[in-house]
Structure 1
């Protein structure tokens, strides 16, 4: 089922180095979510750039088996495989990029490499990684430079947050440094690290970054619907959008985004029966990747997102959250009465939320912004991806 709205003219494609992204929409890497199955499903609905789960550079360089499996491209991605790397040491980051570009450990040469400097998770920031790292601007510059040099003609981009907290903004320096070191674009999430995923993203910082740099700026944060993406572009002047939690349980959002960026008013409002078919397709893709039992087990985390707002009995929800086979899943889904898409959930936040809290940082981390030393042990807790 679809609905229509009045829409403006088409928006231009995004140019990231030699890579053209049309529409200018990027799937944000999400741990345990943006695996080959989910990327395939999103691609079937729309177009854009679909980034794999975040890969830890140390684990990749050490050829961790789990990491090598996570970084494999699907056949459909061989011309547009996109990788996000997490790293804190310039030498390790450079070596990881070399492996991707020269050794083709993903099975193909990536079309794009993104560097994660936006993760706000305490176990990462307390070691100086993620959104804590841009505070150390010399180290940040060294990492971006190492990646760009190792990547050659493969475009390297950067993803970051506004800063550590309201007193320690980093995005302006990070944008200028990333541009100076050869990054092809930068993504800004409109929250500080201490906000985690609470409150509302402040898009005014995205607009300011657009004014500060010449490379494309992508906006991230609170894109729940295609119209949010259009509003973000209109309000900030950003060159494209990065979508994370908004597509959880709604892979068809990428079809809406493609339509919106093409100037079309078409929007998708699937019935329960149509959502059930998408759910089964998602589980089947996971089963192809991991085997039926493990694939269905992994699918369980998606059930509540898909069913958000629909009238589904508690017994059925519990059974779906324990499903272990595709036939069992099909039977349970067939028992749910068909119904219209719940309009009440349109535009509502999805996925993880958490109250703001002070950012955990290494002792003395804020003392010297020009300290070039990589933080000790920052990759130990995020190894294997």
Structure 2
């Protein structure tokens, strides 16, 4: 495997009071970035740290291999291997005490820095959710979702559609920043709705004025979804447009350590955000951390090593879910991602997709040809790119960048049934 481009060891990136000694962020992904997966990604990220950061106590408070922390690490402002953010949770569901939503924000006992992404459209509800998280000691960083392109969210004015309404965007961000007090708030957004309705520069200025600590930009429009190529030049323009004290987090098409180094070098962004690229490949964080610290690349894992990761992931998911059969159902999509590119026949894949216990998973994994090296087909892009999709928006949404009274009256509908969406 080729070495990454030469890169100086990065300084700590400041996101408010937080210090990211590795400038990488795990993006929130619905149904993916639960506590077990975050732990896997974070542990791999920590394994890629240079010795001087490892010796600073990063590994001093480590849980056992079954994921049960021996004792909770001291929380602090330092994030040695970057930030690892929860799945998106809906502020209204949190405020109303939805059991599943509260399960989603339950922190991993190993987490030094607890990052939660909130979604919502009502400033008062968003502020209340932020206050609850802060008062209960459940969060050290809050990220606000203004980038979701899913039609069930945008057709009601939420997610990537919302920054078009500048007054609502300003009210939301300001309300959460005030409610969060000393806890840093970041916003995640897209370039805009489509090429004719670009919002990110105006929205970023509004966010800066509201007091955010950082701005994450997925360098695609809502219309693009995940298709085509991310426009990294927009990340560079954002870095030039906002004060240095505000961290800029670049997102889009980071699938390797080399990609991460190239994004930082070409855009000037402070950190890279990784989403689809780590699906079935949590060791990508080790590769990115090593590359950003100027360390040489490592070979990809063999199928046997991947199988060990799968089983560890599954054990932790059983512990997290408290239900082995449910956990095995949850693991199915992950197993498919883990096996991408390996020579595993259709029958074996089908059988793995039907496992209902840890024992059965172990038996079927051990029946594979585990000596296979990591395949070239397993590298590069991950996730379904698809094609462009016509934006789904409320009727008349683009008529004005300010909310009408009728639109304001309908906004509450954007939060119904969206938790984790």
TM norm structure 2:
0.87
Q: Distance in 2 between matches of 1:71 and 1:336?
A: 36
Partner of 1:241: 272
Is 1:59 aligned with 2:93? Answer: yes
- Structure 1 consecutive aligned stretches of length 4 or more whose deviation exceeds 3 Å: 2-6
Alignment of 1:322-333 (within 5 A): 322-333=354-365
Contact 1:64/1:384 (8 A) holds in 2: no
Relative to 1, partners in 2 of residues 1:5 and 1:209: Cα closer, same or farther, differing over 3 Å?
closer
Is 1:177 aligned with 2:176? Answer: no
Q: Kindly provide the CA deviation profile for residues 105-164 of structure 1, in whole angstroms up to 9, marking residues without a partner as x.
A: xxx331100000000001111000000000001110100000000000000000000000
Is 1:144 aligned with 2:178? Answer: no
Q: Distance in 1 between matches of 2:347 and 2:338?
A: 16
Is 1:48 aligned with 2:82? Answer: yes
Is 1:71 aligned with 2:100? Answer: no
Q: 2:164 aligns with which of 132, 135, 156?
A: 135
Shift of 1:293: 1.3
Q: Kindly provide the CA deviation profile for residues 327-352 of structure 1, in whole angstroms up to 9, marking residues without a partner as x.
A: 111111111112111123322x2113
SS in 2 for 1:194: coil
Contact 2:216/2:249 (8 A) holds in 1: yes
Shift of 1:319: 0.7
Is 1:162 aligned with 2:164? Answer: no
Q: Distance in 1 between matches of 2:194 and 2:3?
A: 40
Shift of 1:5: 4.5
Q: Distance in 1 between matches of 2:316 and 2:19?
A: 27
SS in 1 for 2:413: coil
Contact 1:117/1:134 (8 A) holds in 2: yes
TM norm structure 1:
0.95
Structure 1: tracts of 5 or more residues without a match: none
Contact 2:256/2:284 (8 A) holds in 1: yes
Which deviates the most, 26-35 or 369-378? Answer: 369-378
Alignment of 1:1-385 (within 5 A): 4-5=3-4, 7-46=6-45, 47-77=81-111, 79-102=112-135, 104=136, 108-214=137-243, 215-290=246-321, 291-337=323-369, 338-347=371-380, 349-371=381-403, 373=408, 375-383=411-419
Q: Distance in 2 between matches of 1:282 and 1:362?
A: 40
Partner of 2:51: none
Which deviates the most, 290-299 or 229-238? Answer: 290-299
Q: Distance in 1 between matches of 2:384 and 2:10?
A: 30
Shift of 1:321: 1.0
SS in 1 for 2:215: strand
Which deviates the most, 331-340 or 185-194? Answer: 331-340
Contact 1:66/1:384 (8 A) holds in 2: no
Q: Distance in 2 between matches of 1:306 and 1:175?
A: 37
Structural RMSD (CA): 1.4
Which deviates the most, 5-14 or 208-217? Answer: 5-14
Shift of 1:12: 2.2
Shift of 1:11: 2.1
Partner of 2:52: none
Contact 2:121/2:412 (8 A) holds in 1: no
Structure 2: tracts of 5 or more residues without a match: 46-80
SS in 1 for 2:194: coil
Q: Kindly provide the CA deviation profile for residues 214-239 of structure 1, in whole angstroms up to 9, marking residues without a partner as x.
A: 11111001101111011111110000
Shift of 1:261: 1.3
- How many residue pairs match? The answer is 378
SS in 2 for 1:54: strand
Relative to 1, partners in 2 of residues 1:199 and 1:384: Cα closer, same or farther, differing over 3 Å?
closer
SS in 1 for 2:174: helix
Shift of 1:324: 0.9
